[in-house]
C-alpha cells in the first residue's frame, strides 16, 4: 500500500516544501495594500488532494468568500486503471463552510471545523448507461454521478504576503465524506453496517496565490 | 509538532508516518470504483473452493447445499441469514445466485463477504446484473474471480455462467454459448450437473438472441439436475418450457427465505424452503 500512497504524499510534500524553507527567512515588512484589485474570476488558491473519493490524485483551484469562511474548489481527479478496472477522470466541486479560525501565532492558524458537500462526475467507467440499454428507472441511481456530505479541518501556515497584498498561505487539510449510495446503504442497514464502513478520507494541501 | 514542521526533514518524516498509519485502513478511497482490497478479500471464489476441497463429500452421498440470491444491500438480513444457515445440519456450502452488490462497487461485495465469511461452510457466487454496473464486472473479478467457471463437488459438476445479457447491450455473446456447450458436454467424471446463473432465460434481461440455443443446450445436456437463478426475488421450481428441464428460482435476502437443496441419484432433488 505504501508505494501507492507515496506519490501523492511526495507531491504534497513538494508543494509544501518552499514554504518550509522560507520559514527561517526574515519576515518582509507589512505588504502595501493592493491597488489593483484582481478580477472576480481569478481563483484564490490552488488545491492538490489525494483520495476522498475524488481521485488517487486530484488538482484544481478554488475561491474563498464571506470573510474566508466559505470555499468552493473545482478539482480534476485521476484514478489509474490498475486500481479501478479502467482509467477514470473525475470532475468534482467541493463547497465548505468553516465558521471558526483559531490563530495560534502570527504564523499558524487552525480552522478546526469545516462542513459542506461535494459533487463528482466520473468519466471512463466501462458499463456506463447507453441510450436504450435500460428501460426507464431500471436502475434508480447513476453509475457516474455522486454527491455527499463533507466534514473536516485545516491547519494554515501564514507566509508573508505578496507585494500586491495577496496572501501566500499554505494549508494542509483533511476531510471525511460519504456518498449518496454509501449513505443509502447505511441508512437502510443501521445494524448490519457501521458508520466507519461508509466514511472516506481525503487529504490535501491548499496554497493561496 | 509545530517545531517539527519548521524543518523540512522532520516534516517529510511526519508525512511518511501519517501515510504509514493511514495506508493500513480503507479510508483513503480514490473513487467508489476503487477496488483495492487486502489479499484476504480478493480471489474469494478460488479461496472458497479451496475450503470446499478440504471438506470432501463421500462418493454416493446425498449432496445438500443452501441456495439463495440477491444479497444486494440487505446487510441487516445477511446477519440473520448467516445465523440461520449456521444452524442447518449436513450442508456443504452456500450459493449466492448473483447481485451480491447493489451498485457494482467492490466495497459492497466486501461488506457482503464480511457477513458470509462467518458461515460455517464456504460460499460461492455468480455475477448478477447489479454487479455489472459501472466498473462492477472488474470489481467482481478482483474480489471474487472469473465470470464463468465450473467446479466439481462430490458427484456433481456446477457450472456458473454470466447471463446478464442486458448489461452487454444484448450483443449476442451472453451467455457465452461456446463455453456453455463445452462445459455441458463434459461431465469430467461427475455423475450429474447443475447450471447456475443470475438472469433466467425466460426473463426480459436475458439476451433474446441466445435464449433458444441456451434452452436447447440445457434440454440436451446429460444428467442436468436443474438450472438455478436469482434476479426475480421470488422462489419457484417450474418447467417454463415444458421440456423436462427444471428451473429453480431463489429468494432474495430481502424475502428472508432460502432453500436447502438435496441432490442424489442421476438427477433426483428435493427443495426445502427455510424462513429466517
Instruction: Give domain limits for chain B.
Output: 1-30, 37-275
Q: What is the pLDDT of residue B110?
A: 98
Give tens-digit pLDDT for A91-110. 999 999 999 999 999 999 99
pLDDT over 70 at A20, yes or no: no
For the structural domain made of A45-128+136-208, what CATH number should be given? Answer: 2.40.160
Q: Where are the beta strands (DSSP E) in chain B?
A: 63-68, 94-96, 123-125, 149-153, 156-161, 192-197, 224-229, 236-238, 247-249, 257-264, 268-275
Q: Where residue B59 falls among pLDDT bands split at 50, 70, 90?
A: confident
**Residue A2: pLDDT over 60:** no
**What's the gap between Cα B54 and its chain centre?**
20
CB contact under 8 A, A12 and B15: yes
User: What DSSP string describes B38-64?
Assistant: -GGGSSHHHHHHHHHHTSPPPTTSPEE
Which grid coordinates are listed for A106?
502570527
Does B54 score more than 70 pLDDT? yes
For B31, name the nearest residue in chain A, comparing CA atoms only.
A53
Mean pLDDT to the nearest integer, B18-25: 52
pLDDT reported for residue B12: 58
Judged by a CB distance cut-off of 8 A, whether residue A144 touches chain B is yes
- Name the B residues in 9-28 with CB < 8 Å from any A CB: 11-12, 15-16, 18-20, 22-24, 27-28
| pLDDT for residue A22 | 38
Q: Is the pLDDT of residue B22 over 80?
A: no
- A36-87 tens-digit pLDDT: 677 888 999 999 999 999 999 999 999 999 999 999 999 999 999 999 999 9
Confidence of residue B227 (pLDDT cuts 50, 70, 90): very high
Residues B144-160 pLDDT 10s: 999 999 999 999 999 99
Which of A51, A125, A200 is facing B135, going by the closest CB pair?
Answer: A125
Average pLDDT over residues B230-245: 96
Answer whether residue A192 shows pLDDT above 90. Answer: yes
Contact B123, B48 (CB under 8 A): yes
pLDDT band at B261 (very low <50, low <70, confident <90, very high): very high
- pLDDT tens digits, one per residue of A110-168: 999 999 999 999 999 999 888 889 988 899 999 999 999 999 999 999 999 888 888 89
Q: What is the pTM of this model?
A: 0.87
Among residues A103, A106, A79, the alpha carbon closest in space to that of A91 is found at A79
First to last CA, chain A: 33
Task: Locate A23 and state its grid cell.
Answer: 520559514
Residues of A with Cβ-Cβ distance to B80 under 8 angstroms = none
pLDDT for res A132:
87
In the predicted model, what is the mean pLDDT of chain B?
93
- CATH level 3 topology of B37-275: Purple Acid Phosphatase; chain A, domain 2 (3.60.21)
The cell 501556515 sits on which residue?
Answer: A157
Lowest-pLDDT choice from A14-28, B7-21, B124-138, B164-178? A14-28
Give CA–CA dist A121/B57, Å, rounded.
Answer: 50
The verdict on A36 touching B (C-beta cutoff 8 Å) is no
Domain spans of chain A, in order of start: 45-128+136-208
Pairing outcome for strands A57-65 and A70-79? antiparallel
Q: What percent of chain B has pLDDT over 90?
A: 88
* B2 interfacial to chain A (CB closer than 8 Å): yes
The residue to which cell 419457484 is assigned = B236
pLDDT, position B46: 98
Residue B247 β-bridge partners: B227, B238
3-class SS of residue A81? helix
Smallest Cα distance from B58 to chain A, Å: 37
- Kindly report, residue by residue over B204-219, the tens digit of the pLDDT: 999 999 999 999 999 9
For residue B55, give the nearest of B193, B153, B194 by alpha carbon: B153
* A113 contacts chain B (CB < 8 A): no
B104–A143: do the CB atoms touch at under 8 Å?
yes
Indicate whether B225 pLDDT > 70.
Answer: yes
Contacts B107 to A, Cβ<8 Å:
182, 197
**CB interface of B with A, residues 165-204, below 8 Å:** 166-167, 169
The answer to whether the CB atoms of A125 and B36 lie below 8 A apart is no
The pLDDT confidence band at residue B13, using thresholds 50, 70 and 90, is low
Is B107 at the interface with chain A, CB within 8 A? yes
pLDDT band at residue A13 using 50, 70 and 90 as cut-offs: very low
With 60 as the cut, is the pLDDT of residue B230 above it?
Answer: yes
> Residue A143: its chain B contacts at CB < 8 A?
103-104, 133-134
pLDDT at residue A39, rounded to an integer: 84
pLDDT digits (tens, 9 = 90+) for B72-102: 999 999 999 999 999 999 999 999 999 999 9
Interface contacts A/B by beta carbons within 8 Å: 154
Q: Which of A129, A181, A191 to mutate to test the interface with B (most CBs of B within 10 A)?
A: A181
**Closest-CA residue of chain B to A86:** B135
Amino acid at each position: 500500500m505504501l508505494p501507492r500512497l507515496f506519490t501523492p504524499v511526495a507531491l504534497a510534500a513538494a508543494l509544501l516544501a518552499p514554504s518550509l524553507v522560507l520559514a527561517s527567512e526574515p519576515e518582509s515588512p507589512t505588504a502595501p495594500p493592493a491597488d489593483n484589485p484582481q478580477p472576480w474570476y481569478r481563483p484564490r488558491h490552488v488545491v492538490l488532494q489525494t483520495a476522498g473519493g475524488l481521485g488517487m490524485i486530484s488538482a484544481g483551484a478554488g475561491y474563498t468568500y464571506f470573510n474566508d469562511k466559505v470555499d468552493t474548489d473545482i478539482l480534476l481527479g485521476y484514478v489509474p486503471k490498475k486500481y479501478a478496472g479502467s482509467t477514470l477522470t473525475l470532475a468534482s466541486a467541493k463547497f465548505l463552510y468553516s465558521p471558526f479560525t483559531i490563530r495560534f501565532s502570527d504564523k499558524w492558524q487552525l480552522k478546526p471545523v469545516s462542513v459542506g458537500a461535494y459533487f463528482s462526475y466520473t468519466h471512463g467507467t466501462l458499463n456506463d448507461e447507453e441510450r436504450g440499454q435500460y428501460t426507464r428507472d431500471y436502475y434508480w441511481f447513476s453509475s457516474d454521478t455522486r454527491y455527499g456530505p463533507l466534514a473536516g479541518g485545516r491547519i494554515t501556515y501564514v507566509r508573508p504576503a505578496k507585494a500586491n497584498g495577496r496572501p501566500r498561505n499554505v494549508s494542509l487539510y483533511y476531510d471525511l465524506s460519504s456518498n449518496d449510495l454509501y449513505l443509502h446503504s447505511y441508512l437502510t442497514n443501521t445494524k448490519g453496517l457501521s458508520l466507519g464502513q461508509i466514511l472516506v478520507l481525503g487529504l490535501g494541501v491548499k496554497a493561496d496565490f | 509538532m509545530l517545531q517539527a514542521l519548521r524543518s523540512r526533514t522532520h516534516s517529510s518524516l511526519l508525512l511518511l508516518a501519517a501515510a504509514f498509519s493511514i495506508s493500513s485502513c480503507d479510508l483513503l478511497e480514490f473513487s467508489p470504483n476503487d477496488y483495492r482490497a487486502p489479499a484476504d478479500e480478493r480471489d474469494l471464489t478460488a479461496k472458497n473452493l479451496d475450503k470446499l476441497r478440504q471438506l470432501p463429500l463421500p462418493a454416493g452421498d446425498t449432496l445438500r447445499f443452501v441456495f439463495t440470491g440477491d444479497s444486494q444491500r440487505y446487510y441487516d438480513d445477511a446477519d440473520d441469514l448467516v445465523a440461520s444457515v449456521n444452524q442447518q445440519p449436513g450442508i456443504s456450502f452456500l450459493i449466492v445466485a448473483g447481485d451480491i452488490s447493489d451498485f457494482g462497487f467492490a466495497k459492497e461485495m466486501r461488506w457482503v463477504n464480511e457477513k458470509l465469511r462467518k458461515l460455517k461452510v464456504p460460499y460461492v457466487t455468480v455475477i448478477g446484473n447489479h454487479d455489472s454496473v459501472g466498473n462492477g464486472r472488474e470489481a467482481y473479478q478482483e474480489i471474487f474471480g472469473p465470470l464463468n467457471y465450473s467446479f466439481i463437488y462430490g458427484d456433481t459438476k456446477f457450472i456458473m455462467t454470466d447471463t446478464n445479457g442486458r448489461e452487454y447491450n444484448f450483443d449476442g455473446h451472453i451467455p457465452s454459448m461456446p463455453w456453455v456447450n463445452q462445459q455441458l458436454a463434459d461431465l469430467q467424471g461427475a455423475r450429474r450437473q447443475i447450471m447456475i446463473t443470475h438472469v433466467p432465460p425466460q426473463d426480459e434481461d436475458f439476451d433474446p438472441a441466445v435464449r433458444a440455443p441456451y434452452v436447447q443446450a440445457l434440454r440436451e445436456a446429460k444428467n442436468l439436475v436443474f438450472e438455478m437463478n436469482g434476479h426475480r426475488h421470488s422462489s419457484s421450481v417450474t418447467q417454463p418450457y415444458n421440456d423436462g428441464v427444471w428451473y429453480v428460482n431463489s429468494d432474495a435476502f430481502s424475502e428472508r427465505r432460502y432453500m436447502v437443496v438435496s441432490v442424489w441419484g442421476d438427477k433426483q432433488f428435493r427443495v426445502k424452503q427455510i424462513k429466517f
